[in-house]
Structure 1
Amino acid sequence: MSAGFSFDFLQRESAMYLAATEDGTVHRCSKSYTEQYLDNYFGHSGPVYKVRCNPFFGDIFLTCSADWSCKLWNWTEELPKANFQQQNLQDEVLDFEWSPHTSVLFASVCKDGRLELWDLTKNNMLDPYFTIMPQDQQIWPAKTMVRFAQNSPVLITGDAKGDINAYRLYGYEDNDPLQEEEKLRKLLYPTGYSKGQKEQKD
């Protein structure tokens, strides 16, 4: 059994949670069935450092990995819906965070010191909407965490040296939660979405 690095409870199925592991697998687990996994999600080729459900559309979750990528999933589907990896990135993605203000935005940070901002509406999985990264052979400390402020459009990062940086975001202020869920739902399922492709065991 491999080590677990992160877990998050499914928003609409409170008895179930997702666990990210060292062997690259994400497991769906139940508080009621503790002796076996309910499901497994394969797609990463390295340790999965974090898993988090989208705060607006709870069936959707995101993972980041040592394999240089973030992947977007629906817990009712076996395969990832999208793979996010900047073309010139050759290092681990150590952390990410969904925006609490809009359903289609997340930020990720990498071992080479870069910060990436991904907007799902831009429909580009190889180039982030915005990147801050080392230039001209600069060596930056690994960025190890990223968080969005809950009450203002501000992004915070921390690095391996103990430094903290804050960034002001524009155009991503608070929106209506129901509209944000519908925005992401229509983006991922333009022809409609019906839940329950996988059998639930609890």
Structure 2
Amino acid sequence: MNWVLMKNKLEPEEVIRLRLVGKNEEESTLIGLACGLCFDFNKFEPHIFLVGTEEGKIHKCSRAYSGQYQETYIGHNLAVYKVKWNNFHPRTFISASADWTVKIWDSKISSQIMSFEQGMQVVDAMWAPYSSTVFACATQDKIFVYDLNVDKIGKLAEQKPSKQPRLTNIAFNQRDPIILVGDTHGGITLLKLSPNLTKSGVKPSNFPDAKVPKEFENMPLEEYEKQKMETLLQVVSKWEREDS
């Protein structure tokens, strides 16, 4: 909902009514309403937002069109607890689900492009604010950190903050290399990231011959990180074509 400030009160304005998606439009109308669990707006297109549902589907919506979804992404089998757009690439987003997986998506494609199984339900996932390819996710007892530019399959780090309380959510510090972790006891744990997990921007170590190509020398951080993710999407797309 949008909230409109009136003279002496806030009035809600319905943006979209979440519908369960059936095999066709008639079936969708008969099934009823979906249960939304999370949402996130695209910072590059502020009128576009994602909604993760209890049914496992992710819907791409627009504030300009309240009657229908722009796209529905199918891949999760259980509730979607988190959806988050990438900070540098306008089409890429991440999702975390009770089906034990974290998935990476290209909004132009209705199925996931990458999937990472964690062994238990994933309660949260976040992109790093300094890199387009680094993300962290949390299960009920562990934190995992990935850098898809370094390893497209495996995690680079994992940490178990505590024994007793279950983890509920995570957040990157916007300035320092720190992840904040919330738990069911109301506690917040701070985890400091190692230098190899905080790489961003154009650096010689990012290239095979340790030499920055000329086309990247004066490239702004935002543009470089966007290009880095675009290259990753192309590589993954090539894998899919070869497998098929």
Both structures adopt the same fold (TM-score exceeding 0.5) = yes
Q: 1:167 to 1:40 in 2, by over 3 A?
A: same
Structure 1 consecutive aligned stretches of length 4 or more whose deviation exceeds 3 Å: 122-125
Higher relative contact order (CA 8 A, sep 6+): 1
| Distance in 1 between residues matched to 2:236 and 2:79, nearest whole Å | 34
Cα deviations by residue, 1:110-145 (Å, 9 ceiling, x for unpaired) = 12x1111111123343x42111138xxx95421111
Q: In the TM superposition, what are the counterparts of 1:2-151 in structure 2 within 5 Å?
A: 2-86=34-118, 89=119, 91-111=120-140, 113-125=141-153, 127-133=154-160, 139-151=163-175
Contact 2:40 2:84 in 1 (8 A): yes
Contact 2:113 2:236 in 1 (8 A): no
Q: Does 1:184 align with 2:229?
A: yes
Q: What is the TM-score of this pair, normalised by structure 1?
A: 0.84
2:21: which partner in 1? Answer: none
Contact 1:51 1:64 in 2 (8 A): yes
| CA drift at 1:11 | 3.1
2:225 partner letter: E
| Structure possessing the higher radius of gyration over alpha carbons | 2
The gaps in structure 1 that reach 5 residues or longer are 193-202
Contact 1:65 1:92 in 2 (8 A): yes
Q: Percent identity?
A: 31
- The Cα RMSD (Å) is 2.1
